[in-house]
Amino acid sequence: MSRIFGPVRQNGYVVGDLHTAVRRWTSVLGVGPFFVFDSVKIEDFRYHGAPSRPDMSIALACSGGLQIQLIQQHNDAPSLARDFRAAHGEGLQHLTAWTLDFEADLARLTDLGYGVIQQGRLGANRFVYFDTAGEDCAGAMELYDVSNGIAGFFDKIRKTAERWDGSDPVRLMS
C-alpha cells in the first residue's frame, strides 16, 4: 500500500491496438475476461491545464484484487497516453489509487507538491493524474473517484475474473 496515495488498485497500460492487447492478455497471461469500452466519453478533460478531446477505448479486467486497464487513443489530441506512446511505445503508464473523498485527497496531494498532468470526468467519476516520473516508478499516479457507485461495477469485474473459465474473454460495454 502507498502511504501517500493509498492502495494501488489498478495498473494502466497504453496499447497500440486494444483488441489485440486483450487477446494477448487473455491467451498468453490468462487474465480476463475484459470489459471493453470501444468509445469512452471523457468530459472536462485538461492536459497540462489546457482543454483537450482525446478519443479513447479502454478495457478492464482483474488479476486477483488488481485491476488491469488497457488504453488505446485513436486521435492525436494532447494527452498522457499519446505522449507516453510516442516516447515509450506500449507499456505500463500509470498506477491508480481509488478515493471516496476526491476533493480532500486532491488538495492533500497537490499540497504535498505533486503536479497535475491531466484530469477529467468519466460520467460522475473524476480522475486526476499526478506526475511521479522523477521517482523511478510509473510515470504517473492516478487518483480515481469511486464515491459515485463505480466501485460496485469494479467489484463485479473482480468477481467475474475470480470465476472465469477462459470462455467469453471479451464483454463489450456500451
- Please report the pLDDT score of residue 132 as a whole number: 87
116-160 residue pLDDT tens: 999 999 999 999 999 987 655 667 999 999 999 899 999 999 999
38-97 residue pLDDT tens: 999 999 999 999 999 999 999 999 999 999 999 999 999 999 999 999 999 999 999 999
Has domain 10-162 been given CATH number 3.10.180.10?
Answer: yes
pLDDT beyond 70 at 1 = no
Average pLDDT of span 10-27: 97
- Please report the pLDDT score of residue 163 as a whole number: 96
- Please report the pLDDT score of residue 136 as a whole number: 59
- Please report the pLDDT score of residue 133 as a whole number: 75
CA nearest to 118, candidates 74, 82, 67: 82
- DSSP lists the bridge partners of residue 56 as 40, 73
Spans of all domains in the chain: 10-162
Q: How far apart are CA 144 and CA 10, in angstroms?
A: 10
- Among all chains, which residue has been given the C-alpha cell 488504453? 71
Average pLDDT, the chain: 94
Q: Which DSSP category does 24 fall into?
A: H
CA angle 168, 7, 132 (to 5 degrees): 100
pLDDT beyond 60 at 21 = yes
- Among all chains, which residue has been given the C-alpha cell 470501444? 38
